[in-house]
Amino acid sequence: MNEKDAAGGSGKRALRRDFLAARQALSDDGLREAAEALARRALELPELAKARTVAAYVSVGSEPGTLALLDALRARGVRVLLPALLPDNDLDWGEFTGPGSLVRVRHGGRMALMEPAGERLGPDAVTGADVVLLPGVAVDGRGMRLGRGGGSYDRVLARLDRAGARPALVVLLYDREVVAHLPEEPHDRPVHAVVTPSGVRRFDR
């Protein structure tokens, strides 16, 4: 790692702490209202309107809420894939068939995650998605996403590249998490769009 990459990594860590602290300050009512607005905005996306398979995730804690969106996609007849964290931080995938298809899983000392309870489809299942909804803590004006730092979705994006898959990449955030510029590292990849409770912003790629 060169000095520039090291600086990018340390800058990301500081920003990540700040954004996550701001999320922790949100009220329960604020979280619920944001989740409802986020689902409405996301469902307006043409990419989701025509998607047959969407790779998504179940929000945890103060993340922008996704359950209302997952239910709405399923009601449309969309096949929804959800991740299951593997020991090496890679992601396997399973199908979401409703709230009863989720199980709470704690990985070591981390926050418990809601994961699909059914059949595992393998890490490559994501390459068949028309849209991949990505978690994050911020995105900048170029579409560069700041993740939570575990590297799981960096692996997903690399897997999509290797497979030649070209799904729409969409990150779900709060309004204040869309910023002018974020530090980046060589493995970072831009997204196509960000959805926040107040609207959608697209990025040239």
Domain ranges of the chain: 3-202
How far is residue 22's CA from residue 61's CA, in Å, rounded to a whole number? 13
Structure tokens at 11: 């800058």
pLDDT, the chain, mean: 92
**In this structure, which CATH number among 3.40.640.10, 1.25.40.10, 3.40.50.10420, 3.40.50.150 belongs to the domain 3-202?**
3.40.50.10420
pTM (whole model) above 0.85: yes
Q: Which neighbouring-strand residues pair with 93?
A: 83
- pLDDT one-digit tens code per residue, 11-47: 899 999 999 999 999 999 999 999 999 999 999 999 9
- pLDDT one-digit tens code per residue, 75-115: 999 999 999 999 999 999 999 999 899 999 998 877 789 99
Q: Which neighbouring-strand residues pair with 170?
A: 133, 193
Structure tokens at 151: 């590297």
Mean pLDDT of 159-173: 98
How far is residue 100's CA from residue 92's CA, in Å, rounded to a whole number? 19
Which residue, among 102, 56, 106, has the nearest Cα to 76 in the 3D structure? 56
- pLDDT one-digit tens code per residue, 41-73: 999 999 999 999 999 999 999 999 999 999 999
pLDDT the model gives residue 162: 97
pLDDT the model gives residue 9: 57
